[in-house]
């Protein structure tokens, strides 16, 4: 049985919390920390779930955040500095147990590291609607990235859209694309087992050697040179290739020979740190976050959560979860004590 968690009436300035820290390459620990002194608009959130962002957290766990990106890659509530020790993560969902009266008891999402409770300003909390279960809400950060990617791409109805890379981000980009009227959407991945998931989510699947060609828009999310080459080969004349991968340190060869110039392709980056230029005059981060959260009201998206780990076991299991070639998609970290 889950333990009963009773809301507090105020935030104890001496309160402690347990948090995950990356301490060395492929090593992490659960350490006790002091919660920050609360302000008048701060909330104490008891964490229910958090999600592991495999691509980014793998680079963090391996100490592969480039020195030039140390500041830009800081998570909103990160503690410590890259490479180590660092408290990192940005997919937390919990219940407000203390703070402003109108926030008490609300289920919220926050760009917070893995921690059993935390203090955050109310403005940094995204309410989770009743249509979205708390466990599924851990996908909100990935959904926001996928939404921003479509704004950067200029996707439209009836487009032929190819997504190379069937991780969580690629799957969410494909799921959004499949909702465009008349769009032809194909996910390309080296893992044949992604075909069944693609079918359940409403789009086609192909292995790299059978990837479609003459696409109007191609998204690349595999973080591999081979995947980028496949994405470029799939693009039609004057099409846009949207690069979503973050590679960390090291050089990445790009297939810019062959027909790249003859077909006048556009290779553009998309990153969630800024609202897409096409929406920036009208959208702020809060509006984009709320829109992404509302998009999660589809039961089929539960299939993107393939692992569930108790928070108390996270330090032991996370290195294996982030190992190169590890199977699975999103891992949901459960903070409730179960009998």
Amino acid 1: pLDDT: 34
Which H or E run contains 140? helix 140-153
C-alpha dist (Å) from residue 144 to 113, 150, 253 = 17, 10, 28
3-class secondary-structure state, position 6: coil
Written as six digits, the tokens of 114 are: 């893995």
Beta bridge pairs of residue 139: none
Banded model confidence at residue 37, pLDDT cuts 50, 70, 90: confident
Rounded to an integer, what distance in angstroms lies between the CA atom of residue 260 and that of residue 142? Answer: 29
Which of the residue ranges 4-13, 95-104, 175-184 would you say has the lowest mean pLDDT? 4-13
Q: What is the pLDDT of residues 79-94, one digit of tens each?
A: 999 999 999 999 999 9
- End-to-end Cα distance, the chain: 5
Q: Is the pLDDT of residue 3 over 80?
A: no
Q: Where in the chain is the domain with CATH 3.90.180.10?
A: 16-131+297-334
Amino acid 251: pLDDT: 85
Beta bridge pairs of residue 81: none
Banded model confidence at residue 38, pLDDT cuts 50, 70, 90: confident
Rounded to an integer, what distance in angstroms lies between the CA atom of residue 299 and that of residue 10? Answer: 36
Q: What is the pLDDT of residues 265-318, one digit of tens each?
A: 999 999 999 999 999 999 999 999 999 999 999 999 999 999 999 999 999 999
Banded model confidence at residue 13, pLDDT cuts 50, 70, 90: low
Q: Is the pLDDT of residue 22 over 60?
A: yes
Query: Phi/psi class of residue 238: alpha, beta or left (left: φ > 0; alpha: ψ in -120 to 50)?
Result: left
Just give the CATH number of 142-269: 3.40.50.720
Just give the CATH number of 16-131+297-334: 3.90.180.10
What contacts 296, CB < 8 A, 6 or more positions away? 132, 136, 137, 139, 140, 143
Amino acid 259: pLDDT: 83
Amino acid 237: pLDDT: 98
Q: Where in the chain is the domain with CATH 3.40.50.720?
A: 142-269
Rounded to an integer, what distance in angstroms lies between the CA atom of residue 311 and that of residue 333? Answer: 6
Torsion of CA 148, 152, 156, 159, to 10 degrees: -110
Q: Is the pLDDT of residue 255 over 70?
A: yes
Query: What global pTM score does this model have?
Result: 0.94
Torsion of CA 239, 188, 138, 309, to 10 degrees: -160
The tokens 């040179």 sit on which residue?
Answer: 225
Beta strands in 281-335 (DSSP E): 305-310, 330-334
Rounded to an integer, what distance in angstroms lies between the CA atom of residue 199 and that of residue 174? Answer: 11
Omega before 85 within 30 of 0, i.e. cis: yes
CA-closest candidate to residue 248, choices 75, 106, 96, 63: 63
Q: What is the pLDDT of residues 99-137, one digit of tens each?
A: 999 999 999 999 999 999 999 999 999 999 999 999 999
């Amino acid at each position: 049985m889950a333990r009963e968690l009773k809301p507090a009436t105020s935030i104890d300035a001496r309160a402690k919390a347990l948090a995950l820290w990356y301490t060395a390459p492929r090593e992490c620990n659960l350490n006790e920390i002091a919660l920050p002194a609360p302000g008048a608009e701060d909330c104490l959130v008891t964490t229910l779930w958090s999600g592991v962002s495999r691509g980014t957290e793998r680079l963090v766990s391996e100490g592969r955040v480039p020195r030039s990106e140390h500041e830009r890659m800081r998570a909103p509530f990160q503690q410590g500095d890259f490479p180590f020790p660092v408290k990192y993560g940005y997919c937390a969902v919990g219940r407000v147990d203390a703070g402003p009266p109108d926030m008490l008891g609300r289920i919220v999402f926050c760009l917070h590291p893995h921690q059993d409770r935390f203090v955050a300003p109310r403005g940094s909390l995204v309410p989770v609607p009743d249509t979205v279960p708390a466990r599924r809400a851990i996908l909100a950060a990935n959904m926001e990235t996928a939404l921003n990617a479509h704004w950067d791409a200029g996707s439209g109805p009836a487009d032929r859209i190819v997504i190379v890379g069937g991780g969580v981000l690629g799957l969410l980009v494909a799921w959004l694309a499949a909702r465009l009227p008349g769009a032809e959407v194909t996910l390309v991945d080296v893992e044949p087992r992604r075909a069944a998931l693609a079918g359940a989510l409403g789009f086609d699947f192909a292995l790299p050697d059978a990837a479609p060609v003459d696409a109007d828009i191609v998204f690349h999310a595999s973080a591999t040179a081979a995947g980028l080459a496949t994405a470029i080969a799939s693009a039609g004349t004057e099409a846009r290739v949207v690069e979503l991968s973050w590679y960390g340190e090291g050089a990445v060869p790009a297939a810019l020979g062959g027909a790249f110039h003859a077909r006048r392709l556009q290779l553009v980056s998309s990153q969630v740190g800024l609202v897409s230029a096409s929406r920036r005059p009208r959208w702020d981060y809060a509006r984009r976050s709320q829109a992404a959260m509302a998009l999660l009201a589809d039961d089929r998206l539960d299939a993107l959560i393939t692992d569930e780990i108790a928070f108390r076991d996270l330090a032991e299991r996370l290195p294996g979860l982030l190992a190169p070639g590890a199977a699975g998609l999103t891992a949901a970290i459960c903070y409730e004590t179960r009998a």
